[in-house]
Amino acid sequence: METRIERLCMANGLKMTGPRRAIARVLSEATGHPDVDELHRLAHRLDPRISLATVYRTVRLFEQHGILERRNLGSRRARYEMSGEHDHFHLIDQDSGKVIEFDEPETEQLMRRVAARHGFELVSLKIELFGRKARSEPARAEPERAGKIPAR
């Protein structure tokens, strides 16, 4: 079976080598936001000859071709995820460190307009919300007018 990333590599004219295939597979199957170490560990299971240097070179390459995106998500090391058709948000639980992903297409459009207002064409965006679980009920639609603003 061929992964989406592999197709993207072909489309970008990248040589499809064993290591790249393995790393592409690992990325495709990753649920969260792996860092380089995780990628290496996993790819290493598919082919123990794969070196850490190759993982670094590969993610850099993939990133340059827009196949991957690098994030930080509050952690020190860089973390990676496949680029989607459109951007999405990350909501990081400050207590657990867990990352929740979700779409918000309207906001993306809004950001596009904001950039345009400053004379820029939006290429990509990163929106990271840091928060903690609200003690009150989860809030159905768009409750709390403006609510108490947390201390920051």
What mask of x and - would describe binding to DNA in positions 24 to 63, judged by CB under 7 A?
-----------xxx---------x-xxxxxx-xxx-xx--
Q: Determine the longest span between alpha carbons in the chain, in angstroms.
A: 57
Three-state SS at 28 = helix
* Strands 89-93 vs 79-82: parallel, antiparallel or unpaired: unpaired
Q: Which does 119 bind (CB under 5 to 8 A by kind): a copy of itself, DNA, none?
A: a copy of itself
Three-state SS at 31 = coil
φ/ψ of residue 102, rounded to 5: -160, 160
Q: Which is nearer to DNA, 65 or 112 (CB)?
A: 65
Is 12 a binding residue for a copy of itself by CB under 8 A? The answer is no
Is 118 a binding residue for a copy of itself by CB under 8 A? The answer is yes
Closest CA to 70 of 52, 53, 86, 56: 56
φ/ψ of residue 92, rounded to 5: -100, 125
Q: Which two tokens stand for residue 23?
A: 């790393």
Is 131 a binding residue for DNA by CB under 7 A? The answer is no
Among 76, 118, 135, 145, binds DNA (CB under 7 A): 76
Q: Applying CB under 8 A, which part among 1-9, 12-20, 49-57, 120-128 lies near a copy of itself?
A: 120-128
Point out which residues bind DNA (CB under 7 A). Answer: 14-20, 35-37, 47, 49-54, 56-58, 60-61, 76-78
